[in-house]
Chains A and B, each alone.
Chain A
Amino acid sequence: MAHTTPADSAELAAVLSDYLAERLGTTRPVEVCDMERIAVGWSHETWLFDAVWPQDGTEQRMGLCLRRDPGNALLRDKSDLGEQFRVLKCLEGTDVLAPRAHWHEPDPAVLGAPALIMERVPGVCPSPWRRAGREFYAAAAGRGVLPASFTNALAAVHNVDWRSAGLDFLGVPEDGNDFAHREIDKWESLIEESGHEGHPILADLIGWLRHHAPPVDRLTLVHGAYRTGNVLIDDDRVSAILDWELQVIGDPMYDVAYVLTELNREGTELLSNVVPRELFFERYQQATGIEIDEERCAYYQLLYAMRSAAFWMSAAGLYADGSNSDLRLARTHWSVTVALERAATELGY
């Protein structure tokens, strides 16, 4: 994440003001208020702000979220704001809790980088990697509402009629085990783009994954990173699912595996720090009619190990090739080692 100065924020606010006035169809000035850059990950920049303008004698206020692609994000060409915008538009009117997307600006000259502006949904998104976040989720879990809401929100993703919603533009895997092979191909290509030399453990993991790729019975929309930290919580309920960067049409067990993995919880048996296993299984299966296949989930946990290695290799590569000077990316050189060690353990050695 590049450094942001107050001058950068002021300049962006000024440009946004003009942009929004045009999009909102008002001749009155639009004020960009309370602009805040959220420090999350190494993907796109995320800014929250209010747009305020007068209309018919009253003050109009709209809470908005801006995502910008600086061109040096970890996922490289695997994450595209245009695709995110299209996915969010497709999800409007469905039961999926996704923010409403307003505008996509592909021309970097307009807002400084390709950008997506969506509604700001009420809610909080405490980081599950921090103690305060885990305490938040534990307390919410204890009140009994969020576990069901978390499960139901994922079920809604898997239940959406993706064909009718127009989501087949994401690419539809062929029958059989094409989904897994597509994912392996994707992360292999990210590893290649990273310039990383690879490692024999990675070769072993990829070989194993290709050899054991499972067939898929039912294709659904798959979020790709469903966990606490990627959902907004408002009054103990999921108000929006965030981070629509990794979605695909594929095996719902891919998402279920991400919920089940112990890597997405810390110091608790609650899945994703928030939902008891039994409740998740019962509710999810009832809501979707899909039986959770733990063997397939175990396969996907190994696929996530490959994805994790690819992410860290990409991050380290961005620093190594000078695309990004953030030292936290330099440090990910050793995160690759941790990811490979985990892969070896998952493979049984």
Chain B
Amino acid sequence: MSFESHELLGRLAEGLRREIAPAVDDEYLRTQAHMAAVILERLAREAALGERHRAAEAADLAELASGLGEIVGIDGASQSQAAPEGVRSALARLQDDPDVMSLGLVVEALYRWGPERPAAAAALDAIRSVLRRDIDRRMDIAR
């Protein structure tokens, strides 16, 4: 018999919540036991959803990274470079390391460029769509 990690974590959480915590007399320690159960439940959800979430994030970022260059006016073919160096290098880093956290540098660079510029605003909109999907996935675990 073997457990999937999320199943084991879930059962540990249940044991803590239903049997161990209620048996603890000290109020503070009882609270700690309940909190350990809450944490294990979230870890169980992370284990259950992790692979699916990572795949969704990778797909979102691939699509975004390929679209952002065009949005901000970086055209590799013609060497036309509307965006400043800060934006271009942040986008290059995103393409090298397609991770949601890399989007932070792109966002910062876009604000430095000027969010009122149509190209920067359009780029932020595209990024925000991805960030909304990302935070919704994280909320599946955090709720």
Q: Mark B112-129, 1 if CB is under 8 A from A, else 0.
A: 000100000000100111
Q: Considering only CB atoms, which chain B residue lies closest to A336 in the complex?
A: B142
Provide the residues of chain B in CB contact with A107, threshold 8 Å: none
Q: Considering only CB atoms, which chain B residue lies closest to A198 in the complex?
A: B104
Contact residues on B (Cβ < 8 Å of other chain), bracket: 20 to 34
Query: How far apart are A47's CB and chain B's nearest CB, in angstroms?
Result: 15
* Alpha-carbon gap, A282 to B135, bound state (A): 39
Q: Mark A308-336, 1 if CB is under 8 A from B, else 0.
A: 00000000000000000011101100110
Q: Considering only CB atoms, which chain A residue lies closest to B45 in the complex?
A: A334
Is B42 close to A, CB under 8 A?
yes
User: Known contacts A326-B32, A334-B142: does B135 contact A201 (CB below 8 Å)?
Assistant: yes
Provide the residues of chain A in CB contact with B131, threshold 8 Å: 200-201, 204, 344, 349
Is B55 close to A, CB under 8 A?
no
Q: How many residue pairs, one in A and one in B, have C-beta atoms under 8 Å apart?
A: 84
Provide the residues of chain A in CB contact with B36, threshold 8 Å: 327
Contact residues on A (Cβ < 8 Å of other chain), bracket: 20 to 34
In-complex Cβ contact of A334 among B28, B31, B107, B141 (8 A): B141
Contact present for B132 and A349 (CB under 8 Å): yes
Is B101 close to A, CB under 8 A?
yes
Q: Mark B24-38, 1 if CB is under 8 A from A, else 0.
A: 001011011001101
Contact present for B31 and A200 (CB under 8 Å): no
Provide the residues of chain B in CB contact with A340, threshold 8 Å: 135, 138
Q: Considering only CB atoms, which chain A residue lies closest to B110 in the complex?
A: A207
Q: Which of B58-101 contact A (CB under 8 A)?
A: 100-101
Contact present for A203 and B35 (CB under 8 Å): no
Would you give 25 A-B contacts (Cβ < 8 Å), ordered by A?
Answer: A198-B101, A200-B101, A200-B104, A200-B107, A203-B104, A204-B107, A204-B128, A204-B131, A207-B107, A210-B111, A211-B111, A211-B115, A326-B32, A327-B36, A327-B39, A331-B35, A334-B42, A334-B142, A337-B138, A337-B139, A337-B142, A338-B143, A341-B139, A347-B128, A349-B128
Which residues does B use to contact A, with CB under 8 Å? 26, 28-29, 31-32, 35-36, 38-39, 42, 100-101, 103-108, 110-111, 115, 124, 127-129, 131-132, 135-136, 138-139, 141-143
- What are the 7 closest A-B residue pairs judged by CB atoms, nearest first? A207-B111, A337-B142, A334-B142, A200-B103, A327-B35, A349-B128, A203-B104
Which residues does A use to contact B, with CB under 8 Å? 1, 3-4, 197-204, 207-208, 210-211, 326-328, 330-331, 334-335, 337-338, 340-341, 344, 347, 349
